[in-house]
Structure 1
Amino acid sequence: MKKKVFAIGLSLALFLVLVSSQAALAGYPVTGSEAASSLARAVQYLHRVQNRDGGFPAKPGGESSQAVTCWVIMALEAAGEDVAGTAWAPSGKSPLDYLETCKDHIQETCDYARLLLALSAAAKDPKYKELDLTEKISSFQQSDGAFFQPGRGEKGMINAHMWSVLALASAGKKIPNQDKAREWLLARQNGDGGFSWLEGYQSDADDTGVALQVLVLLGENPNNSTAVKNALAYIKRCQEDNGGFNCGDAWMASGANAASDAWVIQGLIAAGEDPQGLKWSKNGKNAVTHLLSLQNSDGSFNWKEGLASSPVTMTAYAVTALAGKPFPVNVNYWKQSKSESKSVFSDLTPEYWAYDSIMKLVQVKALGGYPDGSFRPENRVTRAELAVFLYRGLGLEEAESKASNGFADVPKNYWAGQAIAAVVSKGYMKGKPGGLFDPNGKITGAELASILARALPPDKAGSVTAGPYWYSASVEAARKNGLLYPDFQAALPATRAQCAYSIAQLRNVLGMK
């Protein structure tokens, strides 16, 4: 039976930035209130199951486990919690106190790595009972760049190598022989694009998600790395109709599960992908929605639908993923890939089809990137976001708007309220039945074309014959003025890149530089 030393392993602060920032507009996770509630309930669950010794058990009521406690520490720190504070010392002992006093004897490479990852996440010294974990792990490196202990039967253990790299990076240590370490891992990629836990074994989505995080950390640029692209293609094949991911490994029964969801989400984010974008959705569902569907009323997460397995560990995995943090949770290492990119955004190069349009709008501050340095061009755009794009892109903030929002679903002081009032006042966007604006509704191509057509001056709009659909005339007017993005499809949601292209074209028609 296959042995997985690391069963599975995104901060709440980052999550809140993404859902509330006017600059970031939309991002991971986009299901703001639901994801925030999910995280809060999960953290409370972890509070309830913490033992008096400060540690955490695999199952509520069981003895504390060093491994489980390490996973929980990383999850809590990712969610913005201070595990060294009094809130996590219910009986005077914190999780860190437990680690210092527990008698578990560690020998395997992955055990050393997991412990160092936890201590680093909590900003603690890398020494454990007088043992410098960074020196210990570094000593495991072989002449070919791989990290493992041959004397313990670990030769060819890909997971030992990957977790060693992540652990050293978490402690701020330069990876010894980094190029060799990267090349060793690249040489272990299977023909299907995936990675396994052990050399020669079949690929699985879990380890492939981890491999993506390690490869980016080791210098692989997601924008042009064939290995990253092949790994992403493999992971995509593991996605099920419910949006979740199965392990993809022959030894495990088929079925999407929380662990695979979590590792895939972290791998996608490290590679500059949006886990909730169209590319990573099936039937309108994705890894995030599937992961949320596995949460129980007490805040814990099931492994699979209706099946609980190691609920404390599974909850720790889910919290880390939902918080938006790849490993190591204390290092924004995915920013490193930007140094090799020709663009100011980690996931955008000059070769991208809408690059020039995006950069024009960035220059006039109509668009912005995300806190992790990405642009996420394939993200779907909400009505509130489009209002802001237009408000800034067409210079409407310079014109005083006397209109009030007046929409039941746009509260006072809403982050996009002024923009919504301005574009509605200009007649570019309209409300919906029942006095609603539907700020979180996704903009379709047809709706975007109608809005663009309304923004055209009369001499540009001209007379257009109505067609078979409510939007036919608007689409024709937009088409005549070159406002439609390539491969325009009226019924599909519009992306950030597509909206950027169309708004940039509209600025040209309006004579705006």
Structure 2
Amino acid sequence: MKKGFVFVLVFIFMFSSIAFGLDINKSVEYLKKQDLDEWGILALYSFGSALKENSLAKIDSNVNTDYQAYVIGTLALGKDVSREVEIIKESQMSSGKFADFIDGTGEDLINAHVWGIVSLYAAGEDGYEKEKALKWLKKNQNEDGGFPVFVGDSNSDLDLTAMAIVAYRALGLSKDSEEIKSAFKYIEENLDKRESCESVAWNILARVSMGLEPDKKLYDKLLGYRLENGSFKHIKAMSKGNYIATWHGLLALSDYKNKVSIFDKLHNLNTTVKFKDLMESDYAYEEIMTLVNKKIVSGYSDGTFKPNNEVKRAEFAKFLIYGLGMQDEISSSTYEFKDLENHWANKIVALAVKKEFIKGVGDGKFAPEDKITGAGVAAMLVRAKGLEEEAKAIKGGDKWYEGYVEIARKNNLLYDNFAPDKNATRAQCAVSVFKLIK
């Protein structure tokens, strides 16, 4: 595609991957010329830049955030951080807080706690007191929904609030939790009052981390800080860009483009779960690994995931129940379907039927081993979303599923290359469940 045509696309505000590439190309080149620290390395890594020649000096500090940043930057270089991870874990205090210093002392800095959580998440490390860490974070959230820089300060900070949202996500909170809602509300109410490149960037990073749809207005706002040479400036009144604002801008643009948090990407690469038939470049890799790490789906005993295997009706019922966090509600068996007697998914299906996510096929059968079609996936997703009445209200067409498919598509619940009459694969189902719960 010629540059002139791309210019026309940008001029008429049509967003494309080529236009996006031209938008950020100079920013990547600008950053490469700087004296890179952990965050600059992470920003370049997020765009796939080769970093084999880069390295980070060993830490000569007792400040915990230095270790936490080192872990994140070194993970981006693909190098071992096991020693630093252990140091961060050992710095967690009895209160649940990650201390300000690696010797386990210092209770003043919120960011030491936030980045303790995020760095361990990026490293795929769960071996610390997560419940205590979550309790401490909730306790230190201000009444306005924001987080301060220092413990006990009533003045909330935009950037740190967004960082805390990323930490909440790493600890398993969903976008529907009150803590997340109030944090985003604080950001939305104050962003225009105290806006900077970094605050806009962190808002984007927090939104993508929570699985929220990327906001084009925030993207446009972020590009308002970008200069002709590719650098970003801290505030719009400035005439020159700087390194810190630029790596912030680049990280946020990467998350916006990929629709996947850079911290989730590191986590997925460093988790102990690996599948020999699933590569990072494969379709639905990020979605699959996110669901695996949440224990919503799992692989097989031979170390494979079999992403192209077609999914059975009973299997998708499990995907849905676990995806919606309803596994604790699984209890009673069902005797309604004669083909579910002694079946491994009996209780799961019983709950899915009770929730009216799925129905039997008639004649007292459920057909748990039958393959689920795209239409079946769409119907279950729509019911799980509470939108079945909307689907039924759609008139026209001679296929039973047309209303379900239309509502599922309208709510961005369908996987790529969706075909209602074709059986859905494990990778495709993972994409749809990911979209449902994000």
TM-score greater than 0.5 by the shorter chain: yes
Report what 2:51 is aligned to.
83
Report what 1:213 is aligned to.
166
Could you give the per-residue CA deviations for residues 97-121 of structure 1, whole angstroms, max 9, x where no partner exists?
Answer: xx14x7x622211000000011112
Amino acid at match of 1:148: A
Shift of residue 352 of structure 1?
Answer: 4.7
User: Rg: which structure is higher?
Assistant: 1
- C-alpha distance 375-165 of structure 1, shift in aligned 2 (>3 A): farther
Report what 1:262 is aligned to.
201
Equivalent residues in 2 for 1:244-393 (5 A)? 254=194, 256-276=195-215, 286-307=217-238, 311-324=242-255, 325-328=260-263, 329-331=265-267, 341=324, 352=385, 354=387, 375=412
Tell whether the 8 Å contact from 1:270 to 1:326 is kept in structure 2 after alignment.
yes
Shift of residue 341 of structure 1?
Answer: 2.1
Report what 1:95 is aligned to.
54
TM-score (ref. length: structure 1): 0.50
What is the alpha-carbon distance in structure 1 between the residues aligned to residue 387 and residue 168 of structure 2? 27
Over the matched positions of the two proteins, sequence identity in percent amounts to 24
What is the alpha-carbon distance in structure 1 between the residues aligned to residue 391 and residue 95 of structure 2? 43
Shift of residue 375 of structure 1?
Answer: 4.2
Match of 2:30 among 45, 55, 68: 45
Aligned with 1:160: secondary structure?
Answer: helix
Report what 2:67 is aligned to.
112
What is the alpha-carbon distance in structure 2 between the residues aligned to residue 295 and residue 172 of structure 1? 34
Shift of residue 123 of structure 1?
Answer: 1.8
What is the alpha-carbon distance in structure 1 between the residues aligned to residue 403 and residue 39 of structure 2? 39
Aligned with 1:200: secondary structure?
Answer: coil
Count how many residue pairs are aligned between Structure 1 and Structure 2. 294
Match of 1:182 among 112, 134, 146: 134
Report what 1:164 is aligned to.
116
What is the alpha-carbon distance in structure 2 between the residues aligned to residue 293 and residue 299 of structure 1? 12
What is the alpha-carbon distance in structure 2 between the residues aligned to residue 213 and residue 362 of structure 1? 36
- C-alpha distance 308-154 of structure 1, shift in aligned 2 (>3 A): farther
What is the alpha-carbon distance in structure 1 between the residues aligned to residue 15 and residue 225 of structure 2? 18
Amino acid at match of 2:62: Q
What is the alpha-carbon distance in structure 2 between the residues aligned to residue 39 and residue 314 of structure 1? 14
TM-score (ref. length: structure 2): 0.58
What is the alpha-carbon distance in structure 1 between the residues aligned to residue 89 and residue 142 of structure 2? 26
Shift of residue 354 of structure 1?
Answer: 3.8
Aligned with 1:195: secondary structure?
Answer: coil
Report what 2:41 is aligned to.
73
Tell whether the 8 Å contact from 1:301 to 1:308 is kept in structure 2 after alignment.
no
Structure 2: unaligned runs, 5 residues or longer: 1-13, 269-288, 297-321, 326-356, 358-376, 393-400, 422-438
Shift of residue 197 of structure 1?
Answer: 2.2
- C-alpha distance 39-122 of structure 1, shift in aligned 2 (>3 A): same
- C-alpha distance 196-34 of structure 1, shift in aligned 2 (>3 A): farther
Work out which structure has the larger RCO, using CA pairs closer than 8 Å and 6 or more positions apart in sequence. Answer: 1
What is the alpha-carbon distance in structure 2 between the residues aligned to residue 120 and residue 356 of structure 1? 47
RMSD: 3.8
Shift of residue 361 of structure 1?
Answer: 6.6
Shift of residue 34 of structure 1?
Answer: 3.9
Tell whether the 8 Å contact from 1:169 to 1:175 is kept in structure 2 after alignment.
no
What is the alpha-carbon distance in structure 2 between the residues aligned to residue 114 and residue 355 of structure 1? 46
Could you give the per-residue CA deviations for residues 270-306 of structure 1, whole angstroms, max 9, x where no partner exists?
Answer: 12222416xxxxxxxx221011121111111111113
Structure 1: unaligned runs, 5 residues or longer: 1-28, 51-55, 57-67, 85-93, 241-245, 247-253, 278-285, 378-387, 396-513
